[in-house]
Chain A
Amino acid sequence: MDTIYALATAQGKSGVAIVRVSGPQAWDAGLSLAGSLPEPRRAGVRRLTGADGGYLDEALVLCFPENQSFTGEQVVEFQLHGSVAVVRSVLTALSTLPGLRSAEPGEFTRRALENGRLDLTQVEGLADLIEAETEAQRRQALRVLSGDLGKRVSDWRRDLIRAASLLEAVLDFADEDVPVDVTPEVLQLLGDVGQALDKELAGFSGAERIRSGFEVAIVGAPNVGKSTLLNALAGREAAITSDVAGTTRDVIEVRMDLGGLAVTVLDTAGLRDTEDKVEAIGVSRARQRSAAADLRVFLIGEGEELDMVVEPDDLVLMSKADLRSDGQGISGTTGQGLDRLISEIQQRLSAKASQASLVTRERHRLALIEGRNALIIASDVVADGPDRYDIAAEEIRVAIRRLSALIGAVDVENLLDEIFASFCLGK
């Protein structure tokens, strides 16, 4: 059984963040970070350090023995100072310990269930939480795939499927019209992907990638007051802002701290049908980005109608309240309705299991590292030539699995599709 870890509290600048570790090596992991563990079920303050001895945080540590924990397994909890940087460094330190991996959403609950530690009447309540977690993960994945990384990721996927299918074609169609040695092409493909992973990893710690937290998109027709609202949100004392230029020229991202939650507010291009090609691209990006956001704030001008799908949590507001005859709605100019909007956003986001994006990013980083390592091993075996393709295929399978958090699951049908498209098979 693996030992798993995850951030167990909502992320953001909350006072305390709890990282939970569960499984047979949980206490070992605790020892490794904290030096010593307090008595079971008693809290103790410990100085946490990474494997290289680097200081991580001063934390409250709790450990629970088997059969006396939430999951029924050995558990260690670290109560950390609630900053993104601290949480990230602790998760990274845990990831380097042998036998540990980050938990899938719902995995703690699952272990609790399997060990009979969860009262089944509690399960109904968990459903909502699980759903929110899953939804947040899905959005994060969407975010990755709709960006520049998405294009690179699909190249990796294509190349790895090609590499695996070449080997499988040689193995599974040995008495048919297929090449007997595909080593050069496979090595080339694996090398290309490996290099790309290296490059990605090198840039992974870059500041522009540390964009954790929620995304809230302001959506509406042109000139409905989106930018004014953004400025108003950003200019308030409650919000600390820092401008981050958007990766695309037409989606403006402003990072702010809304009542303790890290939020990136997106100002998107006004939605309308347009003949202008450049504007049309902007509009389509606005739709993509806002669809991937955690929450959308729709602004509607007088007499306008929405042409986007509104999801249950989304906010729909009348804009330019200061100019409206009935005085209803929100106004970035006068500040009318702003406090209410902030508290609504806060309330909705807090309800979502918010660690997902951070965890997903961490999962992606680990996937990159493990995937790259697996590819190196696979290349070594492939280089031995056709007689060891059975092993080589297994190593590529492992590499693909390690990368699946990024490239998605690859199934035998994907390989067969590629094989039948490439070779004329069939006796």
Chain B
Amino acid sequence: MKQLTFDVVVIGGGHAGCEAAHAAARMGARTALVTLKRSGIGVMSCNPAIGGLGKGHLVREIDAMDGVMGRIADKAGIQFRLLNRRKGPAVQGPRTQADRKIYRTEMLTEMESTKNLDIVEGEVIDLLMESDRITGVLLEDGQRISCRSLVLTTGTFLRGVIHIGDVSRPGGRMGDNPSVRLAERIDSFELPMGRLKTGTPPRIDGSTIDWSILQSQPGDEDPVVFSFMNSKPFARQISCGITHTNAQTHDIIRENLERSAMYGGHIDGVGPRYCPSIEDKVVRFAEKTSHQIFLEPEGLDDTTIYPNGISTSLPAEVQEAYVHSIEGLTQAKIVQPGYAIEYDYVDPRALDLRLSVKGLTGFFLAGQINGTTGYEEAAAQGLVAGLNAARHAFDAEPVLFSRSDSYIGVMIDDLTSRGVTEPYRMFTSRAEFRLSLRADNADQRLTPKAIDLGCVGAERTAVFGNKMERLIAGRSLLQSKSYTSNDLKKLGLPASQDGARRTGLQILAYPDVNCDALATSDPEIAEIQADIRAQLERDALYANYVDRQQRDVNALKNDEAMKIPSDFDFRKIEGLSNELKSKLLKTGPGNLAQAGRVEGMTPAALTLILAKLRQEQRARSA
């Protein structure tokens, strides 16, 4: 049998897998992406959209690290909208409807043309190991691939069960078969597991929808794209439709509730509260007589429509009945019924901050298998796992993200220290430093780190360098300008109360003041380019708050830097309550900051842990 050798093997070609493989390859690791079939690479199995609030931030951060998701989403984007456009930049999230086919083909092209990256078609049926170290994978055809690091990104394949009404069958997403032997191998690690569920709506043939009577939702006139390398969309832009459920729809659903897989007792996994099925909506919010549905086209030359808002596990004929009760959909043809899927996930507290399984060597998990939901969350984990898989293969230091530098850091920290109780989705409210972790400054936050790591191409390095040069020049220009109260009055700007002089940057921190106001009387400021002006305004708007948070950021960084070795024995610390000890043992915090967030932790107890860590460090170095 042929024997292949790689530094990194990634199993799965979804969003986590693509990002992981690409990241490892960018780091210079010889990487294999093993997937059942080439055509499955970059498939969007759920709704045809990328980004949103919190999620858009993740995509920008992936892009800032020179990842793929942002660039591919720009290629495939057919309706860009910047959510919260009127609000502050910290809570603005770029989002787009994506053409499935373009996304898939562009992703495949990207993967195929990436240096150091090979795509291997095949089914992994087992892992090769030497004691607790991963040494490779075994394919169904008998081929062995050896590697130093393995990233598993197999989504919902662990005991995945699909439910349509009272009919259920094993399966990953629609059309895929779960691999039993690989699942058994993973079981043998005895990782803590949980069960989750998620649902999809029926897909509708768009040519059978009466669009003429429906409200239409166009994209932004001035589209904001994802990648820092792009400035405008590539594909033709289209609109989505909006319709609503009504009393009749709700009656049909209510009458058939016991036939729903979720309500008929066929499913015991926990579903996401932010993505309830239409059954859930009708039951839990019985007083609401109508729910909004977005009719999202799946592509430019694809008539399939994704009706966002009516995911369900009712039997197919009930789905048909309730869909037909909805305005504009009375004649609609369902091309694929909605279904619910339940699956096992690995409690992510079993992972360290690299997303590597504790207690095993060279084994990384990323994506939905870790209890998350969403393409963006999956891709961001793929990035982290891919970078670290490469670093591990080279025996180099880990690449870690902090809650203070990125949403990626927030997510990894949340997952590994708190686990999940429902499919984990990013929200901007999860980031305590939200005002500084913005979609617009993801490059300023992360690209320098990525360049240091060596995972950024020459083109982006040049573009970023140029932007930073202009940004720094603009900033120091505004910093050097000073204005008296009189100057400001003349410009029609709010004058300072205390009569003190203000720099240009300080003036930009006022709400509703922009560079234009200063540029009218100052040719130097007028020369600052539009993109830099906008960035300076966004940075200045929050400057006071960012300064105020700096102390918290520093404290957090100190605590994060205080690593807790995985073999650190909390039981040995005298003075900690047994309750606290058992929580620490269960969570296995990777650093002092994580330990500080364990429920019931007090500053005093944390001091004790720190003392013990210091003691051990000293003993080790002695």
Q: B-contacting residues of A (Cβ < 8 Å)?
A: 1-2, 104-107, 109-110, 113-114, 118, 120, 123-124, 126-128, 130-131, 133-134, 137, 168, 171-177, 384, 386-391, 393-394, 397, 412, 415-416, 420, 424-427
Q: Are the C-beta atoms of A388 and B274 separated by less than 8 Å?
A: no
Q: How far is the CA of A134 from the CA of B575 in the complex (A)?
A: 10
A130-B607, A134-B605, A175-B52 given; A387·B86 CB < 8 A: yes
Judge if B37 is at the interface, Cβ distance under 8 Å. Answer: no
A134-B602, A424-B291 given; A123·B53 CB < 8 A: no
Which B residues lie within 8 Å of A416 (CB)? 273, 427, 429
A123-B611, A394-B545 given; A389·B294 CB < 8 A: no
Q: Are the C-beta atoms of B607 and A426 separated by less than 8 Å?
A: no
Q: Are the C-beta atoms of B435 and A110 separated by less than 8 Å?
A: no
Q: Are the C-beta atoms of A412 and B430 separated by less than 8 Å?
A: yes
Residues 273-302 of B at the A interface (beta carbon under 8 Å): 273-276, 280-281, 284-285, 288, 291-292, 294
Interface centre among A130, A176, A420 (most CB of B within 10 A): A130
Which A residues lie within 8 Å of B573 (CB)? 127
Judge if B83 is at the interface, Cβ distance under 8 Å. Answer: yes
Q: Are the C-beta atoms of B610 and A390 separated by less than 8 Å?
A: no
Q: Are the C-beta atoms of B614 and A120 separated by less than 8 Å?
A: yes
Q: Are the C-beta atoms of B291 and A105 separated by less than 8 Å?
A: no
Judge if B481 is at the interface, Cβ distance under 8 Å. Answer: no
Which A residues lie within 8 Å of B604 (CB)? 104-106, 130-131, 133-134
Per a CB cutoff under 8 Å, which of B272, B273, B309, B607 touches A110?
Answer: B607
Judge if B457 is at the interface, Cβ distance under 8 Å. Answer: no
Beta-carbon nearest neighbor of A127 in chain B = B575
A7 to chain B, nearest CB (A): 16
Q: Are the C-beta atoms of A389 and B608 separated by less than 8 Å?
A: no
Q: How far is the CA of A40 from the CA of B291 in the complex (A)?
A: 72
Q: Are the C-beta atoms of A130 and B276 separated by less than 8 Å?
A: no
Interface centre among A177, A384, A391 (most CB of B within 10 A): A391
Q: A-contacting residues of B (Cβ < 8 Å)?
A: 47, 52-54, 81, 83-84, 86-88, 90-91, 93, 95, 272-276, 280-281, 284-285, 288, 291-292, 294, 308-309, 427-430, 432, 434-435, 511, 545, 551, 558, 573-575, 602-608, 610-612, 614-615, 618
Q: List 7 A-B contacts (CB under 8 A).
A: A113-B610, A171-B84, A171-B87, A172-B53, A172-B54, A172-B429, A424-B285
Interface centre among B88, B430, B605 (most CB of A within 10 A): B88
Q: How far is the CA of A171 from the CA of B429 in the complex (A)?
A: 8
A104-B603, A387-B87, A390-B91 given; A110·B610 CB < 8 A: yes
Which B residues lie within 8 Å of A175 (CB)? 52, 81, 83, 95
Q: Are the C-beta atoms of B294 and A427 separated by less than 8 Å?
A: yes
Per a CB cutoff under 8 Å, which of A130, A173, A390 touches B435?
Answer: A390
A121 to chain B, nearest CB (A): 9
Q: Are the C-beta atoms of B603 and A107 separated by less than 8 Å?
A: yes
> Per DSSP, are chain A's interface residues mostly helix, strand or loop, or mixed?
helix
Which A residues lie within 8 Å of B432 (CB)? 397
Q: Are the C-beta atoms of A120 and B611 separated by less than 8 Å?
A: yes
Q: Are the C-beta atoms of A126 and B611 separated by less than 8 Å?
A: yes
Which B residues lie within 8 Å of A110 (CB)? 603, 606-607, 610
Q: How far is the CA of A250 from the CA of B288 in the complex (A)?
A: 49
Q: How far is the CA of A126 from the CA of B612 in the complex (A)?
A: 12
Task: For the A-B complex with A130-B607, A425-B273 known, give 14 more contacts whose Cβ atoms are closer than 8 Å.
Answer: A105-B603, A110-B606, A113-B610, A114-B610, A123-B615, A130-B605, A168-B429, A172-B53, A173-B274, A174-B91, A175-B83, A388-B511, A389-B91, A426-B275
Q: How far is the CA of A127 from the CA of B615 in the complex (A)?
A: 14
A171-B87, A394-B434, A416-B429 given; A427·B309 CB < 8 A: yes
Q: Are the C-beta atoms of A106 and B603 separated by less than 8 Å?
A: yes
Which A residues lie within 8 Å of B93 (CB)? 174
Q: How far is the CA of A388 from the CA of B442 in the complex (A)?
A: 22
Which B residues lie within 8 Å of A2 (CB)? 551
Q: Are the C-beta atoms of A391 and B274 separated by less than 8 Å?
A: no
Per a CB cutoff under 8 Å, which of B274, B430, B558, B575 touches A420?
Answer: B274
Q: Are the C-beta atoms of A113 and B429 separated by less than 8 Å?
A: no
A171 to chain B, nearest CB (A): 5
Q: How far is the CA of A328 from the CA of B54 in the complex (A)?
A: 70
Interface centre among B432, B575, B615 (most CB of A within 10 A): B575
Q: How far is the CA of A384 from the CA of B281 in the complex (A)?
A: 33
A106-B604, A174-B53, A387-B87 given; A128·B430 CB < 8 A: no
Q: Are the C-beta atoms of A388 and B88 separated by less than 8 Å?
A: yes
Q: How far is the CA of A425 from the CA of B273 in the complex (A)?
A: 8
B517 to chain A, nearest CB (A): 18
Q: Are the C-beta atoms of A424 and B284 separated by less than 8 Å?
A: yes
Per a CB cutoff under 8 Å, which of B274, B603, B605 touches A426?
Answer: B274
